[in-house]
Structure 1
Amino acid sequence: MRRRLSHQDAGALPSCSSSPEASPCSCALHHRCLCWSCCCLTSRSRDQACSRRDSNMSSLGSLQRTDESGRLSLTEVSSWALSFTALMESPAGRRIFMEFLCSEHSDENMLFWQACESLKTETRRTAIGERAKQIYLDYISILSPKEVSIDATVRETINGNMAAPTVHIFDDAQAQIYALMHRDSYPRFLNSLLYQSLLQSLGPISPTSNT
């Protein structure tokens, strides 16, 4: 589900360099990693994970857990409805939002955003060039099945800078995709069965929990 953009918005995950066998695809409820580098996500693992979306709600218990804290709290989950920033700053929030994006066939947006965040942590010049090229091939190239929707001006600028890429080469495109997720996917996520069922499974929200 890709929608063309007419304007930009700003916004801003740690990365990992795990192998494909430890793919962090958060489309799968039984994920192995909360570290979100798309560079180690293979097309095969992405497709296999997305194919399990129809059984998501039967595995609600696994959504209630995180590898770091053991269990989600109602306070944390309800805070995701307060702002998109709160959702994106939560490792568990990103994981569950990714599950929703996968069900809508728009997970390339989060994967691209995360790949850009990962690129920004790179300090070696040769590695920057290699990772930038891979991101370009995966998400910017018009030949990619995971191409993200960015405007023509931003795409042309990226094309012109690929000869000597920096860690900020995709900043404008990343901002547009962040804005697209915020404007388009986030409201639907909050109203989705996935999020609402997770909220209900954690218990009633107290009158002061959303203040």
Structure 2
Amino acid sequence: MNKEKPDLANSAVVIIDVQSDYISDTRTLLEQQQASLLEQFPHFPDNIRSLLENARKNKVPVIHIREKDNNKKSTWIPWWNKLHPPGNIALGEGSPEPYAKELKNEAVFIKWTYDLFHSIGDEFEAYLKCNNIKRLYMCGVLTKACVMFSANSAFCKGYEVYILEDCCADRNKAHHDAILTIYDGYHIKVINSKNLWESTKITN
């Protein structure tokens, strides 16, 4: 894990899919998933709460991304159902977990597939450019899916991309650890969210 303490200027925290259908839903897990997310990442809610509290206190913009799937726009569903028997996954319904609810002044974008840029790229990038945001601190669930898909696209779009590892979670901890280890320092940087607020300078 990279221990650099990055600058918060021109930055935003992007919280991806911290919603009930992916976290507190207890429907059948896929064969590759070890256990429910909160069994493996019990501190995840507290870490998200702390991240939001610190971002708001330090006046770092917070952007909430949520998934709301539908059969018209979510064109990946038929292939997914061939890979995994139907009924084994809860489709996104967009309801946030209580500890991740937005404030009135915080942006919320609704996507319909893993990659937020594929779903809402033009709208999302217009918001970033309007607010002079060039650096993204990304987190949420699932680490190997929506978080990493979106982080990869952010890199391709020219943003500086950090993953807040303690504010990410998956239903398979081995996958979470492996994906962050593979990509850390290659085209993204993996840091602990606490490093954002310790001796971090904010400049314009």
User: TM-score by structure 2 length?
Assistant: 0.30
Higher helix proportion: 1
Query: Which structure is higher in strand share?
Result: 2
Higher relative contact order (CA 8 A, sep 6+): 2
| Structure exhibiting the larger radius of gyration computed from Cα positions | 1
